[in-house]
Structure 1
């Protein structure tokens, strides 16, 4: 028993020394966040749902458009062929946003957040790494789904000679902008989850931002109505609109800048609260 204890002592000391001297670098934190993200079943299923919705709705709406084309009173009224195939992105944002909420509130509910923060001397890098890993993942997955929906949808629309190619003006901007918008909603989910901590409350706030705020701002009188241009949905709409955008949308560059501001304010506020509130 004494020998075992003696043998365990140096080993424990060596283990403690290793952890104490190991540097907590951003690449290591990124690997940790990637491991946590990919080890969750909810991540796989939610991203799969987002992919299915993006592609499925895009192909479905394109097929419906072709079926209704010959019955249209005015064939020239055919909707924007690019957005016809990408309409599923508006639904996939919900899945990605909810996943963003769950990534952070799940850690609070299980107490894992204490372990994460205890292993990292400073809290800000942990949230930054989580945002980077989740942001890159959702952008890549969303872009892949959007590309499949686009090419599939245009192949269907070409039956009535209404399809466009990826080389047409503004098409690449719309494809990249759609993926960036979905990623933005996901990161805002992380920000809300950090600020509110409650899964139910954070999801309610996210859905309110997506669905309720646009309705409320549309009823504001006079110049107050211009506020709706700066909410995430309409800023994202500015990124993915080709042609006439009316008075309700900013320019594509304006929409991109507004989304960046939302990300800066959301994640900045989340970092501020994380640094000053107990886990």
Structure 2
């Protein structure tokens, strides 16, 4: 069942953010990067029965436009955007689920505005900086970006899969990544490779600031993500924070592929 959704925009320095609100009750924010609000819609509907749910497109992606498309989007930029949104809707502080690049944005938010976040559920952040082989990962990431910018999008996605240790059937890869994208999808893909990935994977959390914050910290990992890069980075982060990871249904995008099961685990985690 689809919940009534209110969609509008908020002007912030350098960008106009598209955001959506559903339901009523305590505020829950669902955020990713580069994935947009659409990927959270089924999960948001499930949570909106007893929560106010805020979702958003990260700056530079889909409906969140930027003043200068040739400038990079950093986790600190996106954290400032989240802080502005939470303050604007005036329903916080919030429980925030951040996944993938959105998890990195969430860490930057807790470091800079912990009063806005009661519980931070950091789901599979690609924090390459925390791994012993980070120099090699950085080199491979730069090669991937160069490959993409030369126009070979298919090869760039193959490199992306290899770096992340992600395995998908050949026919699925060809269907999704085998041919160039068009329109907004092409623009979003370009922004991701050219202006988001580098700063996201090179972000190093301020562990002291995170531990000093009043925010409850949860590190989430997909039950099906074993051996993948974000499984490794998430476990490294949990180790630095001195906490055990919490397993969630599915893999890196379990919130989109298994929203019903994910919602059950998320509710358990929020109520713990």
Q: Do these two structures clear the TM 0.5 threshold for a shared fold by scoring above it?
A: no
State TM-score, norm by structure 1: 0.25
Larger radius of gyration: 1
Q: Indicate the structure with greater helix content.
A: 1
Which structure is richer in relative contact order (CA contacts within 8 A, separation 6 or more)?
1
Q: Indicate the structure with greater strand content.
A: 2
State TM-score, norm by structure 2: 0.25
